[in-house]
Amino acid sequence: MVNYIDQKNTYIDDSVIIGDGTTIYPNVILEGNTEIGKSCFIHMGCYLKDTKVGDNTVIYQSHIEDSKIGNNCKIGPYTHIRPNCVIEDNIKVGSFVELKNSRIDNGSKIPHLSYVGDAIVGKNVNIGCGVITANFDGKEKHQTVIEDGAFIGCNTNLIAPIKLEKNAFIGAGSTITRDVPSDTLAIARAKTVMKKYKEDC
Instruction: Tell me the per-residue pLDDT of 35-86, one tens digit each, with 9 for 90 and over.
Output: 999 999 999 999 999 999 999 999 999 999 999 999 999 999 999 999 999 9
Report the predicted TM-score, pTM, of the whole model to 2 decimal places: 0.94
Active-site residue among 43, 63, 80, 112? 112
Q: What is the mean pLDDT of the chain?
A: 96
Instruction: List, in order of start, the domains of the chain with CATH numbers.
Output: 3-200 (2.160.10.10)
Region 136-146: mean pLDDT is 97
Q: Is residue 112 among the annotated active site residues?
A: yes
Contact partners, residue 117, CB within 8 Å, separation at least 6: 98, 99, 100, 101, 102, 133, 135, 136, 141
Other CB atoms within a 10 A radius of the CB of residue 143 amount to 16
In this prediction, residue 199 carries a pLDDT of: 61
pLDDT in tens, 94-118: 999 999 999 999 999 999 999 999 9
- Of all residues in the chain, the percent with pLDDT exceeding 90 is 94
